[in-house]
Amino acid sequence: MIGVESDWSSEPPPRYFTLEDYEGGEARWCPGCGDLAVLTAVKRICRDEQLPPEKVVCVSGIGCSSRFPHYMKTYGFHGLHGRALPVACGVRSRRPDLHVWVATGDGDCCSIGAAHWIHAVRYNMNLTVMLFNNEIYGLTKKQTSPTTPQGFATNTHPLGAVLPPLKPVSATLGFTNVSFVAQTVDWNIAHLYATLKKAHEHKGLSFVHILQRCPTFTPGVFDDLQSDPERILLLEHENGIPIDPAVARLYPKKLVHDPLDSNMARILADRVEELPLGLLYCDPDRPGYEEFTGRGIGMGVGEKLEFLNRELDRFTI
C-alpha cells in the first residue's frame, strides 16, 4: 500500500553466531589428543569475536593437525604436505577481508615445509599460524620428526633419535622480519585461548608454538611439564598475553618480559631448564608483504586488460 512501509524495506535482523555455527564434521582425532583443545579454542574465538563463518578460512597441509579445516564450518583448504603457508599467503593476498587460520604440524612445517615457513614469516602477511608440536609424525604412525627429543625411540630410529631436536621458537625468532612469536600448551585451556586470541588480533603473521599431546605415539612426553609447575616460566607484561589470575596462581615462576626485547626473547627461547609460556616477541610495526600484493584488488576487467597490454607493449620489437 502507498505510504505504508512494506516488509521488504525493513532492516534484516542482526546476526549472532554461536559455537554451533562453526561446527564442521565430527573430529576424528584420538581421545585425549591435544588438537581437540586447539579446535575448541579457535571456535570460541570466532564466536566471541562474532566472525561471520563465510569470512573465516582455515588452511592446512598434511598431518593429524591438518584435518583442522574439516572440523570447522567455514571455508577451508586442505593442501599438500608442507604447503599450507604458501596457500594461506595466496588467499590473504587476494582476499584481505578474510580471517586466515593456518594449522600445521612439526613435520609439516619444520621439515618439508621449512622453506615456506621461513619466507612466510618474512612476508609477514596477516595470518594466524598455529604450529601443533607433538614431537612425532603421528599420521604416518611414529616416525622421527624434526622436533623429536634426542634418544626417543621411533619406527625410523628404534634405538633413539640421533640428532638434537629443532627448536621452532628459537628458529622463528631468527627469521628476517618476524613480528609475533608466542608459546603455549594444549592442557592449559585459558592460556591457550588467550594466546590465540592475542595472535588473531595482531596485524601481521602471528606464529604460535603449541606443545600438543599425542596420547598414541608420544604419551608422557610432556608429563614433567604438566606435573611440575616449577618447569614453567610464565611471561608477564602489559603488552603480552593477558593472564587470568587462576592461571597465574598455577605457576610460581614468573618473569616480566617486554615483547619488544628481541635479544631477551632469544635467550628465553633457548632455555632448557624451564619452558617460557607467553608472548616472547611482538613488533606491530614490521612491514607486511600484502601491502604490495593487495594492489589491483577491485580493478575491473577492462582496467586489467589495459594494464596487461601496456606491459606487453614494453617488449615489442
Reported as a single tens digit per residue, the pLDDT across 161-214 is 999 999 999 999 999 999 999 999 999 999 999 999 999 999 999 999 999 999
pLDDT band at 89 (very low <50, low <70, confident <90, very high): very high
Mean pLDDT of 257-281: 97
Q: Mean pLDDT score of the chain, rounded to an integer?
A: 94
As a whole-number percent, the residues of the chain with pLDDT over 70 amount to 97
pLDDT band at 219 (very low <50, low <70, confident <90, very high): very high
Query: CA-to-CA distance for 91 and 273, rounded, in angstroms?
Result: 40
Q: Which CATH number describes the domain made up of 16-313?
A: 3.40.50.970
Query: CA-to-CA distance for 26 and 315, rounded, in angstroms?
Result: 55
4 contacts: CB under 8 Å, gap ≥ 6: none
- Is the pLDDT score of 315 beyond 80? yes
Q: What is the pLDDT of residue 179?
A: 98
10-24, 40-54, 85-99: least confidently modelled range: 10-24
Q: What is the pLDDT of residue 295?
A: 80
- Is the pLDDT score of 13 beyond 80? no
Residue linked to cell 603457508: 85
Q: What is the pLDDT of residue 316?
A: 84
Contact 51, 99 (CB under 8 A): yes
Q: What is the pLDDT of residue 221?
A: 94
Q: What is the pLDDT of residue 294?
A: 81
- Is the pLDDT score of 6 beyond 60? no
Q: Is 174 exposed, middle or buried (0-12, 13-18, 19+ CB in 10 A)?
A: middle
5-14, 48-57, 66-75, 154-163: least confidently modelled range: 5-14
Q: Is 225 exposed, middle or buried (0-12, 13-18, 19+ CB in 10 A)?
A: middle
Q: What is the pLDDT of residue 174?
A: 97
pLDDT band at 66 (very low <50, low <70, confident <90, very high): very high
pLDDT band at 299 (very low <50, low <70, confident <90, very high): confident
Q: What is the pLDDT of residue 303?
A: 87
Q: What is the pLDDT of residue 8?
A: 61
Q: What is the pLDDT of residue 250?
A: 95
SS3 64: coil
Q: What is the pLDDT of residue 287?
A: 96
147 contacts: CB under 8 Å, gap ≥ 6: 106, 110, 133, 135, 165, 166, 167, 168
Q: What is the pLDDT of residue 5?
A: 57
How much is the pTM?
0.92
Contact 59, 82 (CB under 8 A): no
Q: Is 6 exposed, middle or buried (0-12, 13-18, 19+ CB in 10 A)?
A: exposed
17-21, 139-143, 308-312: least confidently modelled range: 308-312
Query: CA-to-CA distance for 269 and 233, rounded, in angstroms?
Result: 11
Mean pLDDT of 225-233: 96
Q: What is the pLDDT of residue 10?
A: 64
- Is the pLDDT score of 1 beyond 70? no
More confident site: 1 or 246 = 246
- Is the pLDDT score of 67 beyond 90? yes
